[in-house]
């Protein structure tokens, strides 16, 4: 990167009703219903962990390092949470 800094001036963020912890443990909902892999519901936590592992692999394979993995992982999870929409999830149903 060129070292430039960009400011996002018109960012829209939907206020959250659910706590991060509740959201993290709930299944991911898509247009076709709740996301399942091998018959098991995929939670937001599962998605965050997989996304982070893939991102970390890309970073490491490019010869870069993450100085503070714990903080970086927290930032990634918080970012995904802030962009997610809330469903009306109230328990599993098939």
Model confidence pLDDT, tens digit, residues 33-86:
888 999 999 999 999 999 999 999 999 999 999 999 999 999 999 999 988 876
Residue with tokens 């519901």: 41
Q: How do strand 40-41 and strand 33-34 relate by DSSP bridges? A: unpaired
pTM of the complete model? 0.73
Instruction: Please answer whether residues 18 and 82 qualify as being in contact, where contact means their C-beta atoms are separated by less than 8 angstroms.
Output: no
| Whether the predicted pLDDT of 1 surpasses 50 | no
pLDDT for residue 89:
55
SS3 content of the chain, % helix, strand, coil (to 5): 40, 10, 50
């Amino acid at each position: 990167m060129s070292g430039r800094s960009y400011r996002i001036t018109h960012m829209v963020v939907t206020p959250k009703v659910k706590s991060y912890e509740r959201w993290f443990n709930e299944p991911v909902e898509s247009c076709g219903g709740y996301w399942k892999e091998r018959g098991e519901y995929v939670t937001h936590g599962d998605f965050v962990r997989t996304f982070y592992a893939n991102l970390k692999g890309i970073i490491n394979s490019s010869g870069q390092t993450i100085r503070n993995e714990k903080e970086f992982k927290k930032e990634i999870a918080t970012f995904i949470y802030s962009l997610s929409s809330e469903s009306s999830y109230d328990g599993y149903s098939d």
